[in-house]
Structure 1
């Protein structure tokens, strides 16, 4: 049950190409690539923006802990 040899992987690749076709696999690859690129761009934009600053609390606001009746 060891690892698969290169011949096993080539046969699996051939079967996948025969089932899906090269055009569909190309489209899937392009979609995946654009998704990864969009994710990377989103991470860059998120790191570049500053974290929002906290607004000073209203001095009239009371902070309490709610307790349940027993």
Structure 2
């Protein structure tokens, strides 16, 4: 029926072995700890993202574009009287 590596019977067998090894009480604790670590990881990634954005924004200098050559040459010549 299924030709994949993890067929439904395989998953049930793995779940049964894990339940026998750890027991239902320890399995609940493992699930709780795993969920807490995933939440902590997500919070740390969001904090790192905010920190990275603020560092990048602070690192960008406020630079004005250089004036064009024609404008500087015209400003350098004194104005002629008519």
The two structures share one fold, judged by TM-score above 0.5: yes
* Structure with greater contact order relative to length (CA < 8 Å, sep ≥ 6): 1
Counterpart-to-counterpart distance in 1, 2:29 and 2:43:
21
Q: Which ranges of 4 or more aligned residues in structure 1 deviate by more than 6 Å?
A: none
TM-score, structure 1 normalization: 0.59
Give the structure with the larger helix fraction.
2
Runs of 5+ unmatched residues, structure 1: 55-70
Which residue does the alignment assign to 1:42?
44
Whether 2:76 is the aligned partner of 1:51: answer: no
Larger Rg, first or second structure (1 or 2): 2
Q: CA RMSD in A?
A: 2.1
TM-score, structure 2 normalization: 0.52
